[in-house]
Amino acid sequence: MVVILGVVANGIKEEIAGLKVDDQAPGMIALALSLARAVDSSAKNPAAKAVAARELRAVMKELRAMAPIGEEGDAVDDIARQREKRREEARKRRSG
């Protein structure tokens, strides 16, 4: 059986894949995908869509909190790289 995902469900599926929490929270992942499908399919019922979206945000917040901290790629690493780049440029200017 082929399941076609909507825009929200597809985005949530991709984000969850990047979080690497499959082993920790399979039930929460299933819930997040179910809620995302509900958001996609409730176009005719704005109240239902709003409720599903609110619950989806809450579940995703918990999943993001469970995600392992990456070794690089966060804002602190970006700042450190920029700082090192400026220092290297300053060294080059001083040496000629």
pLDDT < 50 stretches in the chain: none
Does residue 56 lie within any of the structural domains? Answer: yes
Closest CA to 56 of 73, 42, 70, 74: 42
Does residue 78 lie within any of the structural domains? Answer: no
Q: How far is the C-alpha of 22 from the C-alpha of 36, rounded, in Å? A: 17
Alpha helices by DSSP H, listed for 1-96, are: 7-19, 26-41, 46-66, 75-95
Does residue 41 lie within any of the structural domains? Answer: yes
Q: How far is the C-alpha of 16 from the C-alpha of 14, rounded, in Å? A: 5
Domain total of the chain: 1
pLDDT at 1: 54
Does residue 37 lie within any of the structural domains? Answer: yes
Does residue 1 lie within any of the structural domains? Answer: no
Does residue 42 lie within any of the structural domains? Answer: yes
Does residue 34 lie within any of the structural domains? Answer: yes
By residue range, what is the domain housing residue 55? 7-70
- Give the rounded distance of the alpha carbon of 55 from its chain centre: 16
